Amino acid sequence: MNTYFINGDIKLPKFTLKILWLENNIAIAIDQIIGKGTSPLTPYFFWPRNDAWEHLKSELESKPWISETNKIHLLNQATEIINYWQEEGQKSSLPIVQAKFPNFIFSGSC
């Protein structure tokens, strides 16, 4: 398990959001960072087709080994990308979005 230190002593696993950036919706999944790669933790959930945020929350709640701090951080990141897509999604190209959110993994058709 890849970990990092907070305040020099607490180990937490690293996670990232994977985003499918599409014209009419986005899909969000969570991966755990392992070495130089990632391992899927959740399937993709689509917004606004479904309530991706609620699905992610349920998935995270089913994983007691993920700290509350990480869960909150991941859900806040999901909120941020959903809000951005709602406000700027159809105006932003994939390279622009990737530059704005460099810690996420993106793929898509826009």
> What pTM was computed for the model?
0.83
Q: Is the pLDDT of residue 28 over 80?
A: yes
pLDDT in tens, 29-43: 999 998 888 999 999
Tell me: pLDDT of 90 over 80: no
Q: Quick: pLDDT tens for 47-79.
A: 988 899 999 999 999 999 999 999 999 999 999
Residue at 76: amino acid letter: N
Say if residue 43 is preceded by a cis peptide, omega within 30 of 0: no
The Cβ of residue 50 has, within 10 Å, a number of other Cβ atoms equal to 12
Query: Does residue 8 register a pLDDT over 70?
Result: no
Domain 3-108 annotated CATH 3.30.390.140:
yes
To which H or E segment does residue 62 belong?
none
pLDDT tier at 6 (50, 70, 90 boundaries)? very low
pLDDT at residue 22 is higher than 90: no
Domain ranges in the chain are 3-108
Residues 6+ apart with CB under 8 A from 103: 16
**Phi, psi angles (nearest 5°) of residue 8:** 80, -5
C-alpha to C-alpha distances, 97 to 48, 79, 82, 106, 109, nearest whole angstrom: 18, 15, 12, 9, 12
